[in-house]
Amino acid sequence: EEETRVSYEQKLNNTQHSVSRKLLETALSKKSNLIASADVTTTQELLALAEKVGPHIIALKTHIDIISDFEYEKTIIPLKEIAARHQFLLMEDRKFADIGNTQELQFTSGVFKITDWADFVTSQVIGGFESLDCFKNVGVVAIVGMSSKGALTTASYREEALKVALSHPNVIGGVSQNKIPEDLLLFTPGVNLADSGDGKGQQYNTPEHVFKTLHTDFIIVGRGIYKSDDPEASAITYKTEGWNAYINSLIK
Residues binding ligand BMP (CB under 6 A): 37, 39, 63, 93, 146-147, 175, 189-190, 192, 202, 220-224
Residue 93: CB minimum distance to ligand BMP, A = 5
Shortest distance, CB of residue 46 to ligand BMP, whole angstroms?
A: 13
CB of 155 to ligand BMP, least distance (A): 15
Cα dist from 66 to 32, 83, 93, whole Å: 27, 19, 11
Give, for 225, the enclosing helix (H) or strand (E): helix 223-226
Q: In the complex with ligand BMP, which residue's Cβ is closer, 207 or 222? A: 222
Q: Strand ranges (DSSP E) for the chain?
A: 34-38, 59-62, 89-96, 120-123, 139-143, 171-175, 185-188, 218-221
Nearer to ligand BMP, 3 or 229 (CB): 229
> Which residue, 81 or 160, has its beta carbon nearer to ligand BMP?
160
Q: Report, in Å, the least distance between residue 2 CB and ligand BMP.
A: 27
Q: Which among 4, 9, 35 is positioned nearest to 24, based on CA atoms?
A: 9
> Which is closer to ligand BMP, CB of 48 or CB of 193?
193
Q: From the candidates 95, 113, 212, 227, give the one annotated as an active-site residue.
A: 95
Q: How far apart are CA 17 and CA 187, in angstroms?
A: 16
Going by C-alpha positions, the residue among 24, 22, 64 that lies closest to residue 42 is: 64
212 in catalytic set: no
Which residues belong to the active site?
95
